[in-house]
Amino acid sequence: MLGSIDGAPKTYVGWTNDLEKRLTAHNNGTGAKSTRGRQWHILYTEEFKNRSDAMSREWHLKRDRKFRKKLLEDFLAKES
């Protein structure tokens, strides 16, 4: 899970095989369209043995707005 505080605070949930490469892509504007124009920070990670488990967890995290909001609030508190 990534978080950005450029403008309105936002979170982004996705899965990848290479976290650093994916974060760099998002921060360079070549990642997902919804992440362009922002500086992203890693808020939370989990590891899975296979792609289907990772995608299933991504689906659930995208719907858990309370959890995402809490992680973003924790990040904002550390930044101030």
Regarding pTM above 0.75, the answer is yes
Instruction: Check residue 7 and give its pLDDT.
Output: 87
Output the six-digit token pair for 2. 């990534």
Q: Domain-by-domain residue ranges, the chain?
A: 2-79
Give pLDDT, residue 33: 87
Q: For residue 50, what pLDDT is reported?
A: 96
- CB-based contacts of 4: which residues, under 8 Å, 6+ apart? 10, 11, 12, 35, 38, 39, 40, 41
- What pLDDT score does 34 carry? 87
**What's the whole-number mean pLDDT along residues 17-21?**
95
79 or 42: which leads in pLDDT: 42
Q: Is the pLDDT of residue 78 over 80?
A: yes
